[in-house]
A and B are shown apart, each in its own frame.
Chain A
Amino acid sequence: MSIEETKKEYKPLIVAFCCNWCSYAGADLAGTSRLSYPADVKIIRVPCSCRVNPLFILRAFQRGADGVIIAGCHPGDCHYTSGNYYARRRMTLLFSMLDYLGIERARTRVEWISAAEGVKFSTTMNEFAKTIHELGENKKLEDLRCKELLK
């Protein structure tokens, strides 16, 4: 793919952190069920949503991600009993802080997706990708100087 081509159509970059037990399995089920969602979504497997450090999210934005989504087991269903409860508090506060700094709220999201919810996984990713597509490039957080150099 040439640079011209990428310029023509904006392709957002979306990082999805999925917990191994529920949401990663939900993504697998979406695959098995052939429920499509944009190729812009790239999944990183973590043992539990509570393994997601705010550093990872900020780093993704810094390196040019346009949206970051964290998917974990439904509250009450965590494989490790309480991991997603801690994740929920951390992400609520972090997202609120990013909003406070003026970053578009819709760039970050948490969803609870069980291993049985292939449909939900695909719908969520489609929705999220659409939202990010509409928001356009993340100009507020990424490393602008790096971008300049690349051009």
Chain B
Amino acid sequence: MSSLHKIGVFVCWCGSNIAATVDVAAVAEAMRAEPNVVYATDYQYMCSEGGQSRIREAIKEYGLTGVVICSCSPRMHEATFRKAAQSAGLNPYMVEIANIREHCSWIHKDRMDATAKAIVLARTALAKLNLNQPLTAGESNVVKRALVIGGGIAGIQSALDIAEAGYEVDIVEKTPTIGGRMAQLDKTFPTLDCAACILTPKMVDAAQNEKITLYTYSEMESVSGFVGNFTAKIRKKARHVNEDLCTGCGLCQEKCPSRKAKNEFNMGLNTRTAIYIPFAQAIPNVPVIDTEQCIHFKTGKCGLCQMNCSAKAIDFEQQDEIIERQYGAIVVATGFRPISLERFDEFGYSQNPDVVTSLEFERIMNAAGPTKGQLVRPSDGKHPHCIVFVQCVGSRDTSGCGKPYCSKICCMYTAKHAMLVREKYPDVEVHVFYIDVRTPGKNFDEFYRRAVEQYDVDYIKGMVGKVSSHGDKLQVQGSDLIADKQIIIDADMVVLAAAIEPDPEVRKIATMLTASIDTNNFLTEAHPKLRPVESPTAGVFLSGVCQGPKDIPETVAQASAAAAKVIGLLAKDKLKRNPCVAHSDEMLCNGCSACEKVCPYGAISYMDKEFRVPGPKRTEIRRIAVVNEAVCQGCGACTVTCPSGAMDLKGFSTKQIMAEVDAICR
């Protein structure tokens, strides 16, 4: 093969950048003497139009099969020279760069040394090029449909934006309604507008948009495939209510005699019926039967809902349904939950009903909540006169009980709660224990200052050590670090700003998608600064708190950013792939699965294939590795793990690198 090569070498002066230190003519001359080199020259600026046309002309004139360019870093102009070569009919991957600027002329002073090194680098590039194979970037189709996992504000926003651009989107939401955490909120900071007022119109938009399909009360079953071509299986759990027939009248809910189930939407502060619609504005406005609570499912009796349903929508026989669909892109928007406070004994959360989390407090303050918006204590329904808020409960906690990170939203919502209480009930004393108040964001610090200055909220820098019951009061012992003293406050209610953590479902979903996850279960970005809404797995995008704590405006911004990335992807008819990918020689593969284990992208799978073996008409089945070229990113981890050398990397093959080593050590 290599003897048929006709190679041209072009040595760039880069003005005086290279030529001042490296004798470019000597490099060209030395290269002219190398086997396979039929042409070698030097030129002032190879990257200029003049330089590029020299490459094109030489390719045509000498019928070059490969080109070595001795110039600046390939990170600078590899793409330029590949394009130039391609325009003259040469395969772009038959171009190799010897970096004689950054790695040579710019760092060496001695002209002899630098020239000698430049020659070695040029020979090394030539040695590699001699073994290059023309590579063609493969193409794959893009399925023009997106999947959004999670129907909170992040998922809704991403879906709306993608639908707006004209693409089909499916939202998979595990609960019976879309809306997510935001639907549970009362007011939103820093404007204090009601969450439902701004969220529910978006929920309706999503439901009515003909490009959007909602799969509520549904879970992800599996995902396979790769960017542009994912296949997802969605389990649509049986609601036992026919969505097409149900009118959402709510009569079933009224008639249901099983009323003991904890109301998840109200954070368990009250109960709900066994057949239920999570909240008034739920979408879809279709109830679901909680089979663990339903008397019919438990005893076979009852059936009151079915008898009362004039639409005949109740279907006790309904089964889970598996939906299989193709998607081009996937947005993960699985959101968060407050951490469990079981391990924080000092606050007496599990022991005392008047110690509540901020999300529970949010429901108490909400006009549609369990107390109809009346601020009363969960224990006795009495109006509280003193409320203590505790921030950083489980956040910035390195003790192991909580989370090491800052949950980011707690400072602001605590200020919001404090302000709302003082606004509605000026008689209530409000204290806030904090470690630091962190309020970066537009109008955020102003908001916090209003709480302190205008609403007289008592902010105390310090931690709470203990909350204990004393009669019908809660004794809060804490330290005031500024006054440097221990203080005791007799409170009626204590509100804990519990840290937030990614929804535990995300682990399962990350595994399905081979998307990486950090030690706190947040999904990892492809690049923390420059690719913040992409997962390292191509075609998977991140939206909302699943990537890291954030408030509503940030979530919405990220959701739209993820949508923009999805739209950019779906707008393409074909995806060009990186041709420098791994491939396995089936004649050498042992099928041992080592490569699969180290592949960060799940690009390797195995198949059983029949092979001829010596002997008359004998065959045997062997397990062999197959690389999905659309998924492989070309890192090469598999090539070194493979003991037989079956796995190799195009563009950086074992033989090529070995040839480079030999050329340097010649």
Contact = CB atoms under 8 A, between A and B. Distances in A.
Are chains A and B touching directly in their complex (CB below 8 angstroms)?
Answer: yes
Interface of A: 1, 13, 15, 20, 24-25, 27-32, 34-37, 39, 42-48, 50-56, 59-60, 63-65, 79-83, 86, 90, 122
A45 B102 contact: no
B107 A51 contact: no
B664 A44 contact: yes
B117 A42 contact: yes
B660 A80 contact: no
A47 B108 contact: no
B110 A28 contact: no
Given A42-B120, A52-B640, A35 B635 contact: no
Contact of B103 (A31, A47, A81, A86): A31
9 contacts: A15-B665, A30-B107, A32-B106, A35-B107, A39-B108, A42-B120, A48-B636, A53-B640, A122-B107
In the complex, which range does the number of interface residues on chain B fall in?
35 or more
Interface stretch (B242-250, B283-291, B650-658): B650-658
Interface in B418-477: none
A25 B654 CA distance: 22
Contact of B113 (A39, A43, A59, A81): A39
B633 interface: yes
Contacts of A56: 657-658, 661
Contacts of B117: 39, 42
B41 interface: no
B649 interface: yes
B80 to A, nearest CB: 16
A51 B536 CA distance: 19
A138 B664 CA distance: 16
Contacts of A32: 102, 106
B124 A42 contact: yes
A54 B645 CA distance: 12
B666 interface: yes
A64 B666 CA distance: 8
B113 A80 contact: no
Given A35-B107, A56-B661, A63-B666, A86 B114 contact: no
B515 to A, nearest CB: 10
B600 interface: yes
Nearest to B116: A1
A48 B106 contact: no
A15 B661 contact: yes
Given A81-B524, A83-B635, 4 more contacts: A28-B75, A44-B660, A51-B657, A63-B662
B512 interface: no
B399 to A, nearest CB: 24
Q: Which 8 A-B pairs have the closest CB atoms?
A: A31-B102, A51-B636, A63-B665, A80-B635, A50-B637, A31-B106, A39-B113, A28-B102
B81 to A, nearest CB: 15
Nearest to B654: A53
A17 to B, nearest CB: 8
B606 to A, nearest CB: 20
Given A31-B106, A51-B636, A46 B112 contact: no
A64 B120 CA distance: 15
B664 A1 contact: no
Interface string B492-530: 000000000000000000000000100000001000000
Given A13-B664, A39-B117, A44-B657, A31 B637 contact: no
Nearest to A42: B664
B74 interface: yes
A80 B99 CA distance: 24
A63 B658 CA distance: 11
B362 to A, nearest CB: 36
B580 interface: yes
Contacts of B636: 46-48, 50-51, 83
B108 A44 contact: no
A14 B432 CA distance: 62
Nearest to A20: B75
A48 B637 contact: yes
A47 B654 CA distance: 12
A34 B600 contact: no
B101 interface: yes
A50 B635 contact: yes
Contact of B637 (A37, A64, A86): A86
B180 interface: no
A1 B654 CA distance: 32
B660 A27 contact: no
Contacts of B666: 63
Interface in B70-123: 73-76, 99, 101-104, 106-110, 112-114, 116-117, 120-121
B426 to A, nearest CB: 51
Contacts of B228: none
Contact of B73 (A28, A46, A47): A28
Contacts of A42: 117, 120-121, 124, 664
Contacts of A47: 580, 634-636, 649, 652
A44 B99 CA distance: 10
A35 B75 CA distance: 19
B598 interface: yes
Contacts of B658: 55-56, 59
A24 B600 contact: no
B641 interface: yes
B157 interface: no
A50 B109 contact: no
A32 B661 CA distance: 25
A93 to B, nearest CB: 12
B446 to A, nearest CB: 36
A53 B664 CA distance: 17
Contacts of B633: 80
Residue among A1, A44, A56, A64 with the highest chain B CB neighbour number at 10 A: A44
Contacts of B391: none
